[in-house]
């Protein structure tokens, strides 16, 4: 017995989980019941004043909400599901969290231990008994299958340790029904002894710190790239302090968006296929890039094609990441440091201040000012466009004007994501969220509720497409049920627009399976564009709903939604043929890459 | 009989470039082609680039000067005159003047500065194939680059295949944009050409190049760091690449 410091007692397996959640001070458990979960739920029956049970209308939604909650608070919530379909439906949310270094604890049920390999209802048994861990293993940091009560006690602190240290990620715990109900002699471990005492924020060796500073000082055109690792590490303040001290411009990946205030003079925007021109042009012209917690994905790097977004080499790359697997994955590095972003930035600040090291890059800033002007001149007219259907840029500009400064923005996946990437501005760091890696549609629609759980006093907005909203429309019902007054703005273009655009631009305009339309003829694309009345749907679920077709009506609708403090859906009809300006590119081999639609590539 | 001094009459022409291009092509072919003759395809490109009338005039002029001669296979440089012509062309090349950001300098100064920039900023090694010809061989990350100043874009296809076999990348620097260099774009359909050659025209701040990355990025940085200028890719080049299916046509514009 390893728990010598704790008091031994007799607990049911489910009680161990419930008691441990109290010790972790977990405020919510999300999920969806089934016969494989009721044993667990029963142990929370008398603890609902401390751990509130929130159950949206599908397991995936529960996972998305927990994922969003972690992104904002750093607290991993448990997500309970039954067996079979429940775990299968939650896999999408688990993967979504895993790719974006977010976390929650997925607790799945399983057939009883004496029924393993019997093929009992919903058992995954045809390759190996009770084999859900094999299904989920690709998307979790670890998968535990407890077959005794004592194992639950052993696994829980390990699970929380894994979720909260190093690069975060979801963890899976599977418990057969009988183990929930079986009593065993065990202890409820204290998180303090098993997880909280672990120091995991590793820094860089002093020689690496010196080398990084030397490289930056010698550079003529240095940049700092903030990836999601800056958010995950909680290093936004340190980033700004270092950038300001060294006077180095900062740009971000999509996932790093919001690491610095958009209006900050050092900020260049997002680099990526649909990034900001100043950031993309700067990235391809930089001689040294200090990359913080960025994995250089295809959408960020123009599918790694030289010249479109990056020229590495010749650009010298300094890459800092807590996950060694991400360093030099796609580009060679001049200096690679496995370390925590916050810690390494503090080391850099301390050394730079001690040695009085500061950069002087006036020529570089003059050049960047030109890029910024070019981009701003391009963007400005669209943001005040009075055209109908509504220009997406006008829609986002008006939401921004109507929303409080600190409003939390969850974009979904689809064209709404790059529209928000390019045009949503926020001066409050850490208020933009999206699913950049696994990129599951519906994440934003449900995630905004997780945000509301985390920050009940803050305005939380989801901008989604009509496709994404219809995957998770029940989020409105959940919001009404739990009094989570989120605002959904649907960019309604009667299509899964991002994929339709790929067909328009990659496949010669042959649109099939991407427009929402009635199917009347003998082939696709014969019918009329059709969608349900989203505003009416919202009202039917107890929320508010409004359809907006004119630009002038956007801001009043958003203001009213926020003021009402009620879950509200704004169905905005946008111009479905306006494509997101391409500032870099994205390739789907063998189809050749396209040139940017904004800004000539000057360096290739 | 070939008389060296007669070459200077070429420079009196209102457009001396067809003659210069033909001489340069003749010298290249003299070294590279099987019978030392200028390949017929090169002559066709020559006629397309400068126009049939000017091309015919140039051939006639150089034949009259006995700088080139015609045999049963084709046109070739006069064997006795080849060294003299080579030296004369090299001198001409080296003295070509560039005005970059209000500073005037010769192409020789430009290329020498480029080479020192590459030496300073990369871990490449530089050897000189021909200092006189401004022809440098650079090894960077295990790959060879031949950096040459040139008067005409027309002869590059004649050496591209050999370059690909030798895994040597050729970067030509010269006043190409004013010489209808777009005609050469068709050769980008050939992998040997597109993967092993590039044109840089610092006079017009333009380049044609899809063999991207690595050492070539430093060409751009040199141009910017030293002169504050950028190389642009001509739209016709991008459009042609789209038509060849090397870039995706994009009607989002």
Same domain, B138 and B231: yes
% of chain A at pLDDT higher than 90: 88
**B223: nearest CA in chain A?**
A603
pLDDT at A603: 40
| Res. A500: pLDDT tops 70 | yes
| Res. A396: pLDDT tops 60 | yes
Does residue B180 form part of some domain?
A: yes
Q: Which residues in chain B are contacts of A220 at CB distance < 8 A?
A: 225
Same domain, B194 and B144: yes
For the stretch A213-223, pLDDT in tens is 999 999 999 99
pLDDT at A493: 97
End-to-end alpha-carbon separation of chain B, Å?
60
Same domain, B78 and B104: no
Same domain, B53 and B143: no
pLDDT at A291: 98
Confidence of residue A5 (pLDDT cuts 50, 70, 90): very low
Does residue B187 form part of some domain?
A: yes
Does residue B251 form part of some domain?
A: no
* Structural domain ending residue among the three candidates B90, B109, B136: B90
For the stretch A238-277, pLDDT in tens is 999 999 999 999 999 999 999 999 999 999 999 999 999 9
pLDDT at B130: 66
Confidence of residue A82 (pLDDT cuts 50, 70, 90): very high
Same domain, B76 and B106: no
Does residue B252 form part of some domain?
A: no
Same domain, B114 and B225: yes
Considering only residues B58 and B141, tell me which one the structure prediction assigns the higher pLDDT. B58
Q: What is the mean pLDDT of chain B?
A: 88
Q: Which residues in chain A are contacts of B210 at CB distance < 8 A?
A: 604
| Res. B36: pLDDT tops 70 | yes
Same domain, B137 and B68: no
Quickly list DSSP for A481-540.
Answer: HTT---EEEEEE-SB-HHHHHHHHHHSTT---S-B-B---SSSTT-S-B----HHHHHHH
Could you list the residue range(s) of the whole structural domain that residue B25 is in?
4-90
| Res. A468: pLDDT tops 90 | yes
* Structural domain ending residue among the three candidates B44, B59, B90: B90
pLDDT at A4: 46
A105-110, strands of its sheet edge to edge: A52-54, A28-31, A78-81, A105-110, A171-176, A142-145
| Res. A3: pLDDT tops 60 | no
Does residue B227 form part of some domain?
A: yes
Q: Which residues in chain B are contacts of A583 at CB distance < 8 A?
A: none
For the stretch A574-597, pLDDT in tens is 999 999 999 998 888 888 788 788
**CATH code of the domain in which B52 resides:** 1.10.10
Burial class (CB in 10 A: 0-12, 13-18, 19+), A447: buried
Q: Which residues in chain A are contacts of B248 at CB distance < 8 A?
A: 505-506, 591-594
- Max mean pLDDT among A1-10, A189-198, A497-506 falls in A497-506
**Residue A155, CA distances (Å) to A159, B19, B56 in order:** 6, 83, 87
Look at residues B136, B83, B134 and name the one whose alpha carbon lies nearest to residue B106. B134
Confidence of residue B217 (pLDDT cuts 50, 70, 90): confident
Look at residues B155, B192, B158 and name the one whose alpha carbon lies nearest to residue B174. B155
Is domain A388-494+531-573 in CATH 3.40.50.970, yes or no?
yes
Same domain, B108 and B211: yes
The pair of structure tokens assigned to A494 is 């009667």
Same domain, B113 and B217: yes
User: How many other β-carbons are positioned within 10 Å of the β-carbon of residue A518?
Assistant: 10
Q: What is the mean pLDDT of chain A?
A: 95
Across the interface, do A594 and B233 touch by the CB < 8 Å criterion?
A: no
| Res. B95: pLDDT tops 70 | yes
Same domain, B110 and B71: no
Q: Are A371 and A377 in contact (CB under 8 A)?
A: no
Q: Where in chain A is the domain with CATH 3.40.50.1220?
A: 206-370
Does residue B105 form part of some domain?
A: yes
Which of B213, B230, B249 has the highest number of chain A CBs within 10 A, making it the mutation to test binding with A? B213
Burial class (CB in 10 A: 0-12, 13-18, 19+), B42: buried
Does residue B83 form part of some domain?
A: yes
Confidence of residue B158 (pLDDT cuts 50, 70, 90): very high
Same domain, B160 and B229: yes
| Res. A177: pLDDT tops 60 | yes
| Res. B210: pLDDT tops 80 | no
Count of structural domains, chain B: 2
pLDDT at A521: 65
Same domain, B116 and B210: yes
Look at residues A228, A264, A572 and name the one whose alpha carbon lies nearest to residue A433. A228
Angle between helices A554-564 and A392-402 (to 10 degrees): 40
One of 2.40.50.140, 3.40.50.450, 3.90.1660.10, 3.40.50.1220 is the CATH number of A206-370, namely 3.40.50.1220
Confidence of residue B252 (pLDDT cuts 50, 70, 90): very low
Q: Where in chain A is the domain with CATH 3.40.50.970?
A: 9-196, 388-494+531-573
Does residue B220 form part of some domain?
A: yes
Using CB atoms, which residue from A314, A501, A601 is nearest to B233? A601
**Looking at residues A25-40, what average pLDDT do you find?**
98
- Angstrom distance (rounded) from CA A38 to CA B13: 96
Fold of A9-196: Rossmann fold (3.40.50)
Compute and round to an integer the Cα radius of gyration of chain A.
25
pLDDT at A6: 58
């Amino acid at each position: 017995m390893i728990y010598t410091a704790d008091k031994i007692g007799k607990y049911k397996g489910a009680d161990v989980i419930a008691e441990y959640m109290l010790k972790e001070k977990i405020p919510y458990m999300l999920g969806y019941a089934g016969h494989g979960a009721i044993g667990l739920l029963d142990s929370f029956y008398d603890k609902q004043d401390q751990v509130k049970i929130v159950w949206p209308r599908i397991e995936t939604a529960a996972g998305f909400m927990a994922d969003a909650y972690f992104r904002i608070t750093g607290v991993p919530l448990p997500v309970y599901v039954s067996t079979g379909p429940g775990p299968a439906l939650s896999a999408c949310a688990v993967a979504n969290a895993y790719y974006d270094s977010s976390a929650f604890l997925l607790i799945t049920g399983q057939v009883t231990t004496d029924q393993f390999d019997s093929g009992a209802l919903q058992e995954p048994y045809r390759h190996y008994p009770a084999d859900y861990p094999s299904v989920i293993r690709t998307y979790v940091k670890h998968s535990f299958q407890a077959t005794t009560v004592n194992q639950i006690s052993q696994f829980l602190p390990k699970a929380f340790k894994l979720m909260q240290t190093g690069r975060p990620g979801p963890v899976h715990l599977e418990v057969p029904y009988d183990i929930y109900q079986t009593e065993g002699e065990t202890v409820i471990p204290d998180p303090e002894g098993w997880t909280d005492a672990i120091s995991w924020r590793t820094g860089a060796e002093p020689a690496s710190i010196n080398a990084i500073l030397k490289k930056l000082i010698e550079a003529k055109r240095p940049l700092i790239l903030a990836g999601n690792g800056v958010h995950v590490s909680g290093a936004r303040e340190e980033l700004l302090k270092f950038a300001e001290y060294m006077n180095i411009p900062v740009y971000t990946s999509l996932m790093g968006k919001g690491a610095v205030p958009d209006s900050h003079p050092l900020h260049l925007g997002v680099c990526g296929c649909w990034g900001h021109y100043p950031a993309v042009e700067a990235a391809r012209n930089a001689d040294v890039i200090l990359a913080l917690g960025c994995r250089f994905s295809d959408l960020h790097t123009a599918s790694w094609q030289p010249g479109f977004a990056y020229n590495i080499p010749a650009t010298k790359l300094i890459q800092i990441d807590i996950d060694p697997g991400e360093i030099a994955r796609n580009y060679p590095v001049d200096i690679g440091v496995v370390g925590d972003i916050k810690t390494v930035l503090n080391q850099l600040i301390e050394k730079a201040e001690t040695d009085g090291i500061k950069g002087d890059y006036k020529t570089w800033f003059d050049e960047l000012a030109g890029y910024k002007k070019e981009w701003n001149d391009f963007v400005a007219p669209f943001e005040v466009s009075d055209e109908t259907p509504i220009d997406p840029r006008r829609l986002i500009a008006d939401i921004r004007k109507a929303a409080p400064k600190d409003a939390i923005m969850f974009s979904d996946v689809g064209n709404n994501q790059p529209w928000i990437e390019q045009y949503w501005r926020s001066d409050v760091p850490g208020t933009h969220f999206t699913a950049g890696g696994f990129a599951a549609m519906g994440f934003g629609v449900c995630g905004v509720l997780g945000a509301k759980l985390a920050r009940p006093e803050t305005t939380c907005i989801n901008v989604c497409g009509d496709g994404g909203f219809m995957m998770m429309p029940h989020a409105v019902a959940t919001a009404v049920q739990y009094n989570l007054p989120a605002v959904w703005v649907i960019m309604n273009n009667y299509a899964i627009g991002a994929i339709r655009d790929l067909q328009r631009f990659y496949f010669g305009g042959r649109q099939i399976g991407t427009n929402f339309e009635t199917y009347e003829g003998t082939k696709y694309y014969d019918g009329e564009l059709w969608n349900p009345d989203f505003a009416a749907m919202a009202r039917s679920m107890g929320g508010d709903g409004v359809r907006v077709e004119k630009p002038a009506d956007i801001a009043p609708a958003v203001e009213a939604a926020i003021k009402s403090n009620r879950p509200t859906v704004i169905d905005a009809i946008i111009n479905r043929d306006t494509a997101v300006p391409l500032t870099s590119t994205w390739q789907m081999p063998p189809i050749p890459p396209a040139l940017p639609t904004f800004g000539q590539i000057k360096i290739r | 009989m070939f008389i060296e001094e007669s070459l200077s009459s070429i420079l009196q022409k209102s457009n001396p470039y067809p003659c210069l291009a033909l001489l340069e092509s003749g010298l290249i072919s003299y070294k590279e082609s099987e019978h030392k003759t200028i390949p017929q395809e090169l002559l066709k490109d020559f006629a397309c680039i400068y126009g049939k009338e000017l091309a015919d005039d140039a051939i006639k002029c150089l034949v009259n000067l006995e700088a080139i001669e015609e045999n049963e296979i084709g046109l070739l440089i006069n064997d006795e005159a080849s060294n003299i012509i080579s030296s004369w062309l090299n001198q001409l090349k080296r003295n070509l003047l560039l005005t970059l950001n209000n500073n005037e300098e010769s192409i020789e100064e430009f290329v020498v500065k480029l080479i020192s920039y590459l030496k300073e900023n990369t871990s490449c090694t530089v050897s000189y194939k021909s200092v006189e010809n401004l022809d440098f061989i650079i090894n960077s990350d295990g790959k060879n680059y031949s950096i040459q100043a040139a008067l005409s874009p027309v002869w590059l296809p004649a050496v591209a295949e050999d370059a690909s076999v030798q895994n040597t990348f050729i970067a030509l620097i010269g006043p190409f944009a004013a010489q209808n260099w777009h005609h050469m774009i068709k050769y980008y359909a050939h992998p040997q050409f597109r993967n092993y050659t590039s044109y840089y025209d610092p006079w017009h701040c333009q380049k044609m190049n899809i063999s991207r990355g690595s050492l070539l990025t430093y060409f751009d940085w040199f141009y910017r760091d030293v002169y504050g200028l950028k190389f642009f890719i001509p739209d016709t080049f991008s459009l042609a690449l789209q038509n060849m299916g090397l870039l995706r046509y994009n009607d989002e514009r």
